[in-house]
Structure 1
């Protein structure tokens, strides 16, 4: 009674649309990213963005379609670890980001250090260190770098650190 809201009062305005009512059309990656931002702003407390990512890293259009007001013709993929969105042609990058990010997290938990190439000012991931502990089953075709932001990885080479 004291300051408690009725359950319906707490609900955010979430777009409602049936998949049958929505048109199927070409949707750009930019539109997908915008829809994901709108979807995120409507998530209830305690619900993570990862709910929109299917097991195969595809984006769950059933959840996203009300924010797109369409069903995309294209298939987009999303990293479960970094939440980056990729087109079909780059879907392997979504899988590789997840594979290496999980390995890095485990490596840091075990060793209390970053699995980087010694002395590298870019914090380039050292696949050998991850392999040595049995944390990866393959080496991606990409070079990954560890950022200072929560030790997330990126495939874009950063600027070298000034103190090195």
Structure 2
């Protein structure tokens, strides 16, 4: 006859303590989130438009708010510290250009006969996929045609 009001609890609404977390601690939290998330949810839900991370989603794994920002590439899911923010933006631009080039040409935009598989910026610019030539070299990895800025051995 009379309905009882359910008590509303503020679980998870407490402000998190700010800590100086390392990039490895952030990386571990991202891996834990990835292992726990439903299969249909992409990892990109963690990444805001400005490439910062959604620390609310990582809170159950970090138990703190980082005192400095970290950034994650939306294309390669690589994690970067604040000093490498421009690299995070650039790697996304080049990866999107490489993906589009491969969709259009059905081949990788690498320098011919290059043992390191360096990305050929001329090929990307010729199709108007890249507007500025990056200062650093990028290389095509063996994993799903992803790029990296680290020179292969």
Q: Secondary structure at the match of 1:86?
A: strand
Q: Which runs of 5+ in 2 are unaligned?
A: 1-10
C-alpha distance in structure 2 between counterparts of 1:123 and 1:27, whole Å: 35
> What is the Cα-based RMSD across aligned positions, in Å?
1.1
- Residue in 2 aligned with 1:110? 104
- Residue in 2 aligned with 1:42? 36
Deviation of 1:45 after TM superposition, in Å, equals 2.2
Q: TM-score, normalised by structure 1?
A: 0.84
Q: TM-score, normalised by structure 2?
A: 0.89
C-alpha distance in structure 2 between counterparts of 1:142 and 1:75, whole Å: 23
Q: Secondary structure at the match of 2:137?
A: coil
Deviation of 1:104 after TM superposition, in Å, equals 0.5
The list of structure 1 runs, each at least 4 consecutive aligned residues, that deviate by more than 6 angstroms after superposition, is: none
Which of 12, 17, 20 pairs up with 1:17? Answer: 12
- Residue in 2 aligned with 1:75? 69
In the TM superposition, what whole-angstrom CA distance separates every residue of 1:82-112 from its partner, at most 9, and x where no partner exists?
1110000001111111111110011011111
Which of 81, 84, 90 pairs up with 2:84? Answer: 90
Deviation of 1:44 after TM superposition, in Å, equals 1.1
C-alpha distance in structure 1 between counterparts of 2:19 and 2:142, whole Å: 39
Q: Which runs of 5+ in 1 are unaligned?
A: 1-15, 160-164
